[in-house]
Structure 1
Amino acid sequence: MTLHSLPLFVRLAGRPVILLGDGEAADAKRRLLERVGAQVVGEAATAVLAVVAIDDEGEALAAVSRLKARGLLVNAVDRPALCDFTLPAIVDRAPVLVAIGTGGVSAGLAAALRQRLEALLPANLGLLAERLHAARAELRARYPDGGVRRRALGAALAAGAPLDPLGGNDDVAGWLAGDQVRDTGHVRIILASTDPDELTLRQARWLANADRVLHHPGVPVAILDRARADAVRQTWDGQAAAHDGLTVELEMA
């Protein structure tokens, strides 16, 4: 499945960003840029990003053309076909940021999703992230192997697990003090549907934590994409070789 855009988090603190336009849309973009510490500048300034929030179609097209000719990446408000990048709706649980984008085709949908996620994500989610960061040395000492460490974290952060991100628990020290349960070995999943939303929570967790995914040719890409990007993917040949990590085998019912 092809992504229409590659989501990136760009640090703009102290860096110039060109903003052209007046009115409500331009004011909203200015507030967002200032919130991340960017220096909002005019067209003559040197920058690598630009936002065009001009209502008049002719003026907006001309401004976009001039800026792109300079090699700038441009966001053209309400003109998704002209955008090199879009500005997402944001859920802020610093240092955790959740960005929702629709490629510029429906800001209303992105805003509605942001409101739903605001209600779902606990206020202390950022504290959980900070405590996991502070525990990096202890995690590496306890689980020297990167794959084992990742599976231990994956199990702890799964739905209903001790550090479930939606559960509101940020006691990383308490989790580390206990015995950890990790998925290992070979797991076979028989898919009853080509819809990835039909995966059970356990199946989705296995797939997300797998080091290797063996799949039959008929398994759709939409389901394979639920695995980690760095997980090894192989078409299943009837044999499952021994593997130290977690291997998930997928086939259609």
Structure 2
Amino acid sequence: MSLAALPIFVKLAGRPVILIGTGEIADAKRRLLERAGARVVDEAAAAALAIVAVEAPEPIVVRLRARGVLVNTVDRPDLCDFTLPAIVDRDPVLVAVGTGGVSAGLAAALRQRLEVVLPVGLGGLARALAAAKPAIRRRWPESGARRRALGAALAGPLDPLWEHEEDAVATWLADAAEPAPALLRFALASGDPDDLSLRQARALAQAERVYHRPEVPNAILDRARADAARIACEAAPAASGTGLSVYLEMAR
């Protein structure tokens, strides 16, 4: 399954961004750019990005693209080189929801749901983890062990969907142990990733390696972590290795 677009976060502080247009929509885009620290400029200025919010954008887009500028054209996904997502801000955590310009209303609805789910203190947890990086590296010098320990913590005592005390990360560090190796086995009812159970989806998102029968479709394997090893095999391994592993087969 290919991505319709690659989501990236661009640091705009102090950088020029072209904004062309007037009215309510253009004003909203200006506020968003200024909130990101961008320097809003007109078409004549040199910039790498542009937002166009006018009734007849085609000639403007042609001119900008000829200069190598990446363009977002409001309400015209066919004239967009990039799109602007709906944003949930838990500084420094940002969650962006995009639909490739297909439905801004759907993206906004999903953002509203996430606003309710994500705790206000999520940014504080992120900052505490950043401050604890030296201590975490000392505790788990090997990168694999460090990743497993953090994964176990964020699936348990440091669950990002909970509110935490200020000393939650320090308390975890004082008590944390290396997660025991584990192999979870799943017989899949179908090859449709929408049919995955919550437990199966979570295991795929956390596993370091995915052992699978050859007939398990890529649509399922794509739900695993991007850096997880995919290992085709005819049977579950006798020894799965450190951390969490998953074995997938189709139900008979």
> What corresponds to 1:8 in structure 2?
8
Once the two structures are overlaid, the 10-residue window that deviates more, 193-202 or 44-53, is: 193-202
- 3-state DSSP of counterpart to 1:131: helix
**Paired residue for 2:85, among 69, 73, 88?**
88
Instruction: Give the number of equivalent residue pairs.
Output: 248
Indicate if the aligned counterparts of 1:16 and 1:39 stay in contact, CA closer than 8 A: yes
Conserved in 2, the CA contact under 8 Å of 1:151 and 1:183?
Answer: no
| Aligned residue number for residue 110 of structure 1 | 107
Where 2:224 maps in the other structure, the secondary structure is: coil
Q: Map of 1:1-253 to 2, 5 A cutoff?
A: 1-55=1-55, 57=56, 60-158=57-155, 161-170=156-165, 171-180=168-177, 182=179, 184-238=181-235, 240=237, 242=239, 243-253=241-251
1:138 CA drift (Å): 1.1
Q: For residues 182 and 17 of structure 2, what CA distance do their matches in structure 1 show?
A: 50
Deviation at 1:18, TM superposition (A): 0.4
Q: 1:207 to 1:115 in 2, by over 3 A?
A: same
Q: 1:241: how far off?
A: 6.2
TM-score norm. by structure 1 comes to 0.92
Residue ranges of structure 1 left out of the alignment (5+ in a row): none
- Separation of aligned partners in 2, 1:156 and 1:123: 19
2:170 & 2:192 partners in 1: Cα distance? 38
Q: Which moved further from structure 2: 75-84 or 198-207?
A: 198-207
Once residues 193 and 182 of structure 1 are traced to their aligned partners in structure 2, the CA distance between those partners, rounded to angstroms, is 31
The structure-2 alpha-carbon separation of the partners of 1:205 and 1:147, relative to structure 1 and needing over 3 Å to count, comes to: farther
Quote how far apart the aligned CAs of 1:239 are. 5.9
**Structure 2 gaps, min length 5:** none
Summarize deviations over 1:103-158 as a string: whole Å, max 9, x none. Answer: 00100111111111111110000000000111111111111221121111111111
For 1:162, what is the secondary structure of its paired residue?
coil
Structure 1 outlier segments of 4+, above 6 Å: none
CA–CA separation in structure 2 for the residues paired with 1:181 and 1:197: 32
SS in 1 for 2:78: helix
Q: Distance in 2 between matches of 1:209 and 1:162?
A: 15
Distance in 2, Cα, partners of 1:78 & 1:61: 12
What TM-score, normalized to structure 2? Answer: 0.92
CA distance in 2, matches of 1:172, 1:85: 37
